[in-house]
A = this chain, B = another copy of it.
Amino acid sequence: MSSFDLSVLLFLQLAFILTVCRATALVFKRLGQSQVVSEMIAGVLMGPSLMGWLWPEWSAYLFPAESKPILFALSQVGLVLYMFLIGVEFDLDLIKSRMRSAASVSLAGIVVPFSLGAALASYLVGDSQLFSARTTVMQAMLFMGAAMSITAFPMLARIIFEQGLSKTALGTLALAAGSLDDAAAWCVLAVVLASFQNRPELAVYAIGGGLLFGALALLGLRRWLRPLGQKVEQEGEISPALLVFVLALVMLGAWFTDYIQIYAVFGAFVMGIAMPRGKFAAELHRTIYPLTTAFLLPVFFVYSGLNTRIGLLNTVSLWLLAGVVLLAATLGKGVACYAAARWHGESHREAMAVGALMNARGLMELIILNIGLQRGIIEPGLFAIMVMMAIITTLMATPIFERVYGKPARRLQQQPGGAGSPG
């Protein structure tokens, strides 16, 4: 296929992807579900698990192998811009303000699922449907531990925000714990990816390069950008020229972290943290968020769905394993966070809400899983099991949260824009 043919097909793919996402969102919104759930499921539906199985010819026509590099590139651009915005909204002060209780909830929410995940991995690592042959026991344990510890931080933040809980004890606790957990899980993943090099010096480059990048961005760049932050504060808006400059920085960070073999999303996230706060951050959100979430991110969900083959789970033992993974994920994250919050003196209702929100894996889990699959750490069988776990833990979050927060929350959620954001 020529470049032109591929671009014609891309328009059809995008029209189809956006339409299916929209239709799925309509159904799931009626069921009281968040948008991220509907997009995760829409992605799986458009992949081999449903569309490729029911209509193999249409599926082969719409998503031929030749078009994969373009879809992958678009999805990566979307992810990078999205993770950048997550970084932009990452609030260090908030974590400092609730350090003690946040630390204990987030510690529970990372130690318990990590341990359970690592234990499961040590038991599963020989299975060629689950882990690739070249994955060591240690790498499998670290990856599975990190993957279990993920929290759908963006979704959690959006729900807290929409319910008007941002300034409450519950809201601050959940936001601080969630962001700490995600940051920790991403660091572990960076170590896994770095260690997953054949030559040890490459791991040194990756870890050393990552640390250097983090230091340069968070200490040097951040300070250097401060005057620009003040300029935007005075002028009230970000100029097109400054936006181009910021986007160039984001792309450079994404490239560098990809190049040293950690991953583009880290670079983008760290660049986001380095941006000035206040009006500058708000303007970045205003200019980048709408098109990124409405247009580019759905491509990532589909790309992820194209990799998800639920049909691979064709034995009873694999389905049993899927159940065990789901149980471990929920016990390790949701229940452990509930317990930590209760232990810290929160009411049953608040602790349940925190547990449900922390338990949702959302988009973040799909990112980490796709990295693992693409790097050859895990195999399509475990990928499918983990995607199901991610979808189900995310599905559970909104109903539990709504139930413990009752009707007032439900009334608030029906305000415009209440469909939630990809997590």
Q: Measuring CB to CB, which residues of chain A are less than 8 angstroms from any residue of chain B?
A: 3-4, 6-8, 10-12, 14-15, 18-19, 21-22, 25-26, 35, 68-70, 72-74, 76-77, 80-81, 235, 237, 239-241, 243-245, 247-249, 251-252, 254-255, 258-259, 264, 286-288, 290-295, 298, 374, 416-417, 419
Contact = CB atoms under 8 A, between A and B. Distances in A.
A343 B129 CA distance: 80
B291 A287 contact: yes
A234 to B, nearest CB: 10
A291 B416 CA distance: 24
Nearest to A11: B255
Contact of A14 (B4, B72, B74, B251): B251
Given A25-B241, A251-B14, A7 B291 contact: no
A11 B77 CA distance: 8
A73 B19 contact: no
Main secondary structure of the interface of A (DSSP, over half): helix
| Chain multiplicity (copies) | 2
Given A70-B73, A248-B15, A287-B290, A7 B240 contact: no
A324 B230 CA distance: 51
Given A73-B3, A73-B74, A290-B288, A80 B11 contact: yes
Given A14-B251, A247-B294, A290-B291, 4 more contacts: A6-B73, A10-B77, A70-B73, A243-B294
A168 B230 CA distance: 36
B12 A255 contact: yes
A68 B76 CA distance: 17
Contacts of A288: 290-291
Contact of A18 (B21, B244, B298): B244
A25 to B, nearest CB: 6
17 contacts: A6-B72, A8-B255, A8-B258, A8-B259, A10-B77, A11-B264, A15-B255, A18-B247, A73-B73, A74-B74, A240-B419, A241-B419, A247-B294, A286-B286, A286-B290, A288-B290, A291-B291
Q: In the complex, which of the residues A77, A298, A419 has the most CB atoms of chain B within 10 Å of its own CB atom?
A: A77
Most buried by B among A4, A74, A295: A295
Given A240-B293, A294-B244, A73 B7 contact: yes
Given A290-B287, A294-B287, A7 B243 contact: no
Contacts of A258: 7-8, 11
A244 B22 contact: yes
Contacts of A22: 241, 244-245, 248
